[in-house]
Structures are given as structure tokens and as C-alpha cells.
Chains A and B, each alone.
Chain A
């Protein structure tokens, strides 16, 4: 698995400090990040593919400094957002998945082949030519997953991917995330999503409050919320 390192990372929005001196070394297959609203967990994971640059400290992916090599790192790190609507760029399902493969130096046939395989994997083949905005919420999140995984990233970061979904779709997305061969980092409030994860990091008020096995971490998180 890829090694993600946070070395003395702090971040502020103006005068408001959201992360303070984070030191983490993440190399497990499935990693969960939990924390209350505004705790800084989304800011933390956005730093993994350079969407947010730390005010101080360094984030690196396999030794590459993300701030200095954002383009290269983004090719290895796929990002799933909470609201799939914000992630859909092209008008139809097929076109949106193919959009990820732009500027990758692939032939038209290769793009078509990989797009078709991604749509098939996520059960979206029948919707290939449908307008993406007319899909259901669950299908949109599946489309977001397909659009990310078609690029074959080494790491998949998902920021509360099931928050806007009903129970059935949340379970489907959870299963897909748990089955992935890639390294997966999931930010969530839904603790059942983290069953079988290798490591869970609890963030509280911009600091790592707990870091360890899921069971112990979830106990710690529940105590924080109590």
C-alpha cells in the first residue's frame, strides 16, 4: 500500500485554526477518519490530493510532497465528494466517466473500452447515454465512483460518501468501498461503514484525539460525543 505522511501539518482559514501539528503515517489498506462537524477531518483528507495546501508542515504520498507535485499525486489519488452532483461535469453518464481519461494519452478505443468496463462494474451500462442529472442519488454516487476508479488510482479518498444516501444505497457504496483493492480513506459519521477497517483516526478540534484499531477508536469517538 502507498504511504501517506502528515508531518507537523497545521492549517488555518484566516485566524481560525482548523488543524494543529498533525503527525500521521498511513499505510494500511482501509483507513477511517471520524470526528464531529467542524473538527477538521475534511480539511485533513483534502490535503492528500492537494485540494488544500497546509499552512505549515508537509503532506507526502509515497515520498512525493503533495504541495510541490500536486498533478502527479492527483493521478494516484481519486477523490469522492459528499454531494455527487458537484462531481458530475459532463451531461451524460458515459461522457462523465470518459472525462476522467482526458489528457491521459489514451486512444479513443482505449477510452471507450475502459469507460464501458467502469460502467459495467457499477451497473450503469443501461444508463450510459442518459443525462447524468436525472440519475437517482445512489446512482449518482455510483457514477462518481466509476468516474474516479476508471483512472485506476492507487488511493481512493471519500469524504462522507454516504451522507446524502438512503440506507440501501449507503450499504451498496459501503460494500463497494470495502471491496476495493486500492488503499481507501473514508471520512464518515456513519460508524458502521468502518466495520472491517484496519485503522481509524479520530479528529477533534483540529488534533488527533485517537489513532488505532476501529473498536478502540470508535469507543473513543463515542466518548467524545457524549
Chain B
């Protein structure tokens, strides 16, 4: 969900998050139960229409759905070997439709909306769970992925510059140490921004 949101005002963007999540769950379940190739083609067509309605350009859509094809290049022949090409094709089709539906959710929903959805879901359990903290935890996790990726990239570069490419220790130690320093600094910033209010 990091940086995937595609701004817009379509009906899909405006649909409440929890309803979207429910529809996503139903959609993925239904796709998993489809037994005929023509049914899958109809589902693919429906997903295409949903992308058009949401106004998602081909590039961001491809960025989300494309990577699954690499898995299918390996998985489909293996499946075909054991269960035949029809079954393998159905499996691939179901997977593509499910991933496309999930991607549509992330492309049309802000992280804040997802967090609010989480908070609404956890509201009945507020006596035992601080929904706000859970939401913040999810947001921070998402935020920290690019941060850690940046640290790893910088350490890899430094490792190359110092000619220690082969050393796992030269990668792990600085990444862990810098990640801990970053965590400490983010913690301080959270306090400064009034998290303990």
C-alpha cells in the first residue's frame, strides 16, 4: 500500500472502506469457486470494467498485477504437469483476477481510510484493544518499509565501495544498527508530535 493510492473521485474511491473490504472478500471467494473458463473470462471483463470506472491508468494497474505473472511462469507449467493445462489455466486466471481485485482496493483507498476501517472494526473490542494504537502500528509498519529499503540500499552501496560484497556480516550489522537508530529517532518524533496525548 506504500504509495499505491491513485487519487480520484469515482464511486469506487468513495465507497466506504469496510464495504470495499467486504466486497473484496466476497469477490475473491467467488472467483475461487469459479469452475468454467467462460466464467473466469466474465470475471476478468468485470474487473476490467471496475478499473475503467475507477479511472486507473494502465501503468499503475500493470505495476500491481504484472509481478504475479513471474510467479505464474513457474507455477503454471508445474501445475499443468500434474493436473493438466485446463486446471493450470484456471488457477492462473483465478490468481490474476484475485490480485487485480486486491490491487483495485489499494489503488482506490488511502492508508488513513484503511486505518479508520481498522478502528471501526475493532471498536466493539475497545475495552481490550486500543484501536488507535493498532492503526498507528499498521501505518508505521507501512512507513518503515521504504525507510528500511533505503537503509539496505545505502549499506549495499557502501559494502560495494569498500569491496566487502561477499560478507553477510557487513550487510546485516549496519542494517540492524541503523534500523535501530532510525526506530529510536522515529519514537522521539512521535513523542514530540504528541503521540502520548
Contacts and interface: CB of A to CB of B under 8 A. Distances in A.
A89 B191 CA distance: 11
A211 B60 CA distance: 56
B182 A91 contact: no
Contacts of B140: 89
A69 to B, nearest CB: 12
B17 interface: no
A53 to B, nearest CB: 12
A44 to B, nearest CB: 15
A99 B192 CA distance: 12
B1 A91 contact: yes
Contacts of A99: 193
Interface string B154-197: 00000000000000000000000000001001101111111011
Interface stretch (B75-83, B86-94, B141-149): B141-149
Given A88-B143, A92-B111, A130 B189 contact: no
A92 B146 contact: no
Interface string B94-107: 00000000000000
Interface stretch (B2-10, B38-46, B64-72): B2-10
Q: Chain B, interface size: which category?
A: 20 to 34
Contacts of B197: 71, 74-75, 102-103
Contacts of A121: none
Contact of A100 (B146, B150, B193): B193
11 contacts: A51-B192, A74-B194, A75-B194, A87-B189, A90-B139, A91-B142, A92-B3, A102-B194, A129-B110, A133-B147, A148-B193
Interface of B: 1-3, 5, 7, 110-112, 132, 139-140, 142-143, 146-147, 150, 182, 185-186, 188-194, 196-197
The 9 lowest CB-CB distance pairs between A and B, nearest first, are A131-B3, A86-B185, A79-B192, A133-B146, A129-B7, A87-B189, A91-B111, A95-B112, A103-B197
Interface of A: 49-51, 70-71, 74-75, 78-79, 81, 83, 85-92, 95, 98-100, 102-103, 129-134, 147-148, 151
